[in-house]
A and B are shown apart, each in its own frame.
Chain A
Amino acid sequence: MRVNFTVNGRKQEADDVWEGESLLYVLRERMGLPGSKNACEQGECGSCTVRLDGVPVCSCLVAAGQVEGREVVTVEGLADYANNRSCAGSSCGTTLQEAQGWSAEGTDSQTGEGTELAPIQQAFIDAGAVQCGFCTPGLLVAADEMLERNPNPSDADIREALSGNLCRCTGYEKIMDAVRLAAARQSEPEGV
């Protein structure tokens, strides 16, 4: 079957889609957008999280045919999406906590320098929240959406919002640091 939908602001058309294919498969194998990850394909890990008409969902559990005419944002479009979002009126106040005495003060991630990143993406790099990185795209989409709704989250709020995203490398502590960092930067007009 044929499916037409919008991905990261661009109209896309997929042809010869098998009816059992998931949105995740179409994104990864037909659209050249492998950023959304295929870790479990059963809605238990969140690594394939995308926004479907603005709502975070597991793209592995959306049938390709169900996205006809709808809008999808993936990690590849996250920077643009965040950039387009109006930040006016947001007020935040979370204090950035030191990461157990070590501070992320290196300034070294030059790969892709010049790439515009969403604040949450930069915060993940700066806080050391990325190791193998396979969970990262899904976490970024979920965390970005949470900060959009709740710019001043408590630790328990962060944990609840990200409880659908498994990470096997980090023990989640640096991910907590990253989200706190993004929230704190968001509350300061020009960032930290």
Chain B
Amino acid sequence: MADTRTTGIPFNVTQGSHTKGGIGESTLRPDGTLKVTGEFAYSSDMWHEDMLWGQILRSTVAHAEIVSIDTGEALATPGVYAVLTYDDLPTDVKNYGLEIQDTPVLAHGKVRHHGEPVALVAADHPETARRAAAKIKVEYRELPVITDEASATAPDAILVHEGRDDHHSGHVPHPNVVHRQPIVRGDAAAAAERADVIVTGDYTFGMQDQAFLGPESGLAVPAEDGGVDLYVATQWLHSDLKQIAPVLGLPEDKVRMTLAGVGGAFGGREDLSMQIHACLLALRTGKPVKIVYNRFESFFGHVHRHPAKLHYEHGATKDGRITHMKCRIVLDGGAYASASPAVVGNASSLSVGPYVIDDVDIEAVALYTNNPPCGAMRGFGAVQACFAYEAQMDKLADALGMDRVEFRQLNAMEQGTIMPTGQPVDSPAPVAELLRRIKAMPLPPERQWESSEGSDVRQLPGGLSNTTHGEGVVRGVGYAVGIKNVGFSEGFDDYSTARVRMEVINGEPVATVHTAMAEVGQGGVTVHAQIARTELGVAQVTIHPADTQVGSAGSTSASRQTYVTGGAVKNACELVREKVLEIGRRKMGSYHPSWATAELLLESGKVVTDGGEVLADLVDVLEGEAVEVEEEWRHRPTEPFDLRTGQGNGHVQYSFAAHRAVVEVDTELGLVKVIELACAQDVGKALNPLSVIGQIQGGTLQGMGIAVMEEIVVDPVTAKVRNPSFTDYLLPTILDTPTIPVDVLELADEHAPYGLRGIGEAPTLSSTPAVLAAIRNATGLELNRTPVRPEHLTGTASA
């Protein structure tokens, strides 16, 4: 291992020495310096002497039987060390998957989507590996493609997966439906009779890509004990491990995983990508193997956000009260299940939005098709629903002749509201207040592009492309608000583990925090150090690299890590504190009566009473001793949703954000410039205000992306991806980005550590419908799909 370039592996670093740096402060990232100097070792930066490069051969068609695979010529290529297919898999376990193990490590007999892995090559140079992969001959016999609900559930439809026996297969209406969740509460049909107005809508949500910048990559190093050391970028080390080890035929302790630097995730690293492939090649060749996807491959190498078709009906009385809601949400899960069941759970249980609606009739399904597999992406399920129900809210308000914001406020949920699942909302739900705040923000000035020197095109729709100097430009304003669950729901045992150690090093008390939490950019490591300082009164906190030598931290997803792993760190720190105080009492208890009687705290390197009296220096207490605790921590348990009625206390906590979008649309060319996207969000408690704002702004922009430009386009005839590159899958640039003023509310949730609320996803929800509402406001068009493209705004879409 001497030559493995892993020294920059994040966080084996010590931080903090001058300031208190506890929770609530905007302390800076412990990895900041490494990241600005280029020394931070991301998964694609791993290097090892004599390492080989892995290459994956992927299917060129979406749905086909594999007639034959000929690897002979590839294997004979000089510089090639191994070529592997399904037949080379070492054990009977040949599939993996988050919830349903339906995903083949390498295709067996059939490919189910464009870009499915078929064979692996290891060679001494990436170009050698690519050329060899190109020499593998695969003969396909193409099958008809299943691309939508009609083709998936037709009576004679080919089954994407034959012989299903997973735990959802018993209750789905068709084997090409992954999961179905109805929610019925009250009597929607009867309530509809009371409605003075009823509005309906059919909405389409496009396929969004996480488009994290750091490509899927990593390094697998075979070990002398027959195991393997894997350095990889992921969101959940232990979930990976559970899926990897059985395929390799190794016990979990022989697959030692270390988190390499993660270049963003957003849900796209919840599923495995190159992990098993690199390990297989490393174990086969006995050499370290590095795999790095290029951007083209990355579009095939991870799941995307579920595209969706949503049908909604809402009614309201003349006085503006919503009577009922009926909806049907069809999510395209693509070829493999991934997180589809959980996406269905979120979409159905959050389909009413943050509103009080007593009578509902809800159904959500996810399909198996031959489209690209879809799974986790920031806000999943809730994002698609929010786009539709917020469009419905505007329609309802308009039908009633009411102000769109006031109508929402009138129907806004609050603490105590009963969800459609029957679960009461038992912490603050300041929906009306968030709307009030964004509405109260001053609007950006009109015609900011005008200057004494003429029109600054950079501030106009079209930007540098010089399409307008103000002609055709109309401003629009739109509002939206959303609700997202925090943490894993529906009865999942959602725990995390923290190991905290406290000792004296170089005459200073130092805390070490060791978790398996994947730092993907969100700033969890910053917060862990802050928690340790607050709880243990030390300046120095060392964050140990995340690996599988400590218990699971759960996933860096579902807005859960600060809550759950933060909670685990807090809990472990409290246990360490108790032990430190025990030592203190043992060593020094006789010196001062307060040791026995007072509530004791650790602050600024000292043991103090709650009255502020100093009893001892931590250095003296800990002299010659080290205290270490590893402990699991859980949030409140949840329940599954009833499969027939959808009733159940399924969620832990909710997160709310509201947006106001101001757009300027070139109505003739159909080009949109988002001028401002103001956000108000309740965060419970901002452990690190700077990071909180950064998360909200980042989530807001991802929501804007799917509103106006981002979409993976899948050919409806071939089910092949048409734009797998950053040339044609467009992400917002800094010149597309509006100002994003953020107003943060801190209403504590008494059930959560420090009262905090998971924050990462909520801003992604309401951003999209707010932008759509603003574009509708500017253009007067109905716009029932997202993203909106210029042709939708100019009546020039193809049929």
A and B touch in the complex (CB under 8 A): yes
Which A residues are within 8 Å of any B CB, using their own CB?
18, 20-21, 28-29, 32-42, 44-45, 47, 74-76, 78-79, 99-100, 102-113, 115, 117, 121-122, 124-126, 128, 130-137, 140, 156, 158-160, 162-176
Instruction: Choose the segment among B9-17, B168-176, B352-360 that binds chain A (4+ C-beta atoms closer than 8 Å).
Output: B9-17
Q: Is the C-beta of B263 less than 8 angstroms from some C-beta in chain A? A: yes
Report the minimum CB–CB distance from B176 to chain A (whole Å).
33
Chain B interface, >50% SS class: loop
Q: Name the CB-closest residue of A to B705.
A: A168
Interface pair A156/B38, CB less than 8 Å apart:
no
Say yes or no: A110-B30 contact (C-beta < 8 A), given A38-B292, A132-B212, A170-B694.
yes
Report the minimum CB–CB distance from B750 to chain A (whole Å).
25
Query: A158 to B458, alpha carbons, bound, how many Å?
Result: 11
Report the minimum CB–CB distance from A152 to chain B (whole Å).
16
Interface pair B698/A131, CB less than 8 Å apart:
yes
Interface pair A39/B26, CB less than 8 Å apart:
no
Interface pair A130/B212, CB less than 8 Å apart:
no
Say yes or no: A103-B26 contact (C-beta < 8 A), given A35-B37, A128-B693, A171-B701.
yes
Q: What A residues does B27 contact at CB under 8 A? A: 106-108
Interface pair B263/A39, CB less than 8 Å apart:
yes
Say yes or no: A42-B725 contact (C-beta < 8 A), given A99-B690, A174-B694.
yes
Partner of B214, one of A36, A37, A79, A122: A37
Say yes or no: A111-B15 contact (C-beta < 8 A), given A159-B735, A166-B733.
yes
Q: What B residues does A39 contact at CB under 8 A? A: 213-215, 263, 295
Q: Is the C-beta of B790 less than 8 angstroms from some C-beta in chain A? A: no
Interface pair B734/A165, CB less than 8 Å apart:
yes
Q: Name the CB-closest residue of A to B701.
A: A171
Query: A174 to B529, alpha carbons, bound, how many Å?
Result: 22
Query: A164 to B731, alpha carbons, bound, how many Å?
Result: 11
Report the minimum CB–CB distance from B658 to chain A (whole Å).
16
Q: What A residues does B38 contact at CB under 8 A? A: 33-36, 74-76, 137
Say yes or no: A104-B17 contact (C-beta < 8 A), given A156-B458, A172-B701.
no
Report the minimum CB–CB distance from A101 to chain B (whole Å).
8
Interface pair A104/B697, CB less than 8 Å apart:
no
Interface residues on B, range: 35 or more
Q: What B residues does A112 contact at CB under 8 A? A: 13, 33-34, 37, 39
Chain A interface, >50% SS class: loop
Query: A84 to B747, alpha carbons, bound, how many Å?
Result: 50
Interface pair A75/B37, CB less than 8 Å apart:
yes
Partner of A168, one of B266, B294, B690: B266
Interface pair B39/A173, CB less than 8 Å apart:
no
Interface pair A111/B698, CB less than 8 Å apart:
no
Q: What B residues does A110 contact at CB under 8 A? A: 14-17, 30
**What are 30 A-B pairs at a CB distance below 8 A?**
A32-B47, A37-B42, A42-B725, A100-B740, A102-B26, A102-B689, A106-B27, A107-B19, A108-B15, A108-B526, A109-B30, A111-B34, A117-B36, A124-B32, A125-B28, A125-B33, A128-B694, A132-B520, A136-B36, A156-B459, A165-B733, A166-B726, A166-B733, A168-B212, A168-B213, A168-B264, A169-B264, A171-B737, A172-B737, A173-B694
**CB-based closest 10 A-B pairs:** A35-B38, A132-B521, A134-B263, A171-B697, A133-B35, A44-B726, A112-B33, A108-B27, A171-B701, A34-B45
Query: A190 to B689, alpha carbons, bound, how many Å?
Result: 28
Q: What A residues does B521 contact at CB under 8 A? A: 131-133, 169
Given A42-B725, A132-B521, 12 additional A-B pairs, CB 8 A: A33-B38, A40-B725, A111-B32, A112-B39, A125-B36, A130-B35, A132-B265, A135-B213, A160-B464, A166-B726, A168-B702, A172-B697
Interface pair B213/A166, CB less than 8 Å apart:
yes
Interface pair A18/B125, CB less than 8 Å apart:
yes
Q: Name the CB-closest residue of B to A138.
A: B213
Q: Mark B229-271, 1 if CB is under 8 A from A, else 0.
A: 0000000000000000000000000000000011111100000
Say yes or no: A131-B458 contact (C-beta < 8 A), given A109-B30, A159-B734, A175-B734.
no
Interface pair B26/A130, CB less than 8 Å apart:
no
Q: What A residues does B520 contact at CB under 8 A? A: 132
Q: Is the C-beta of B691 less than 8 angstroms from some C-beta in chain A? A: yes
Report the minimum CB–CB distance from A38 to chain B (whole Å).
6
Q: Is the C-beta of B754 less than 8 angstroms from some C-beta in chain A? A: no
Q: Mark B676-708, 1 if CB is under 8 A from A, else 0.
A: 000000000000011101100111111000000
Interface pair A168/B211, CB less than 8 Å apart:
yes
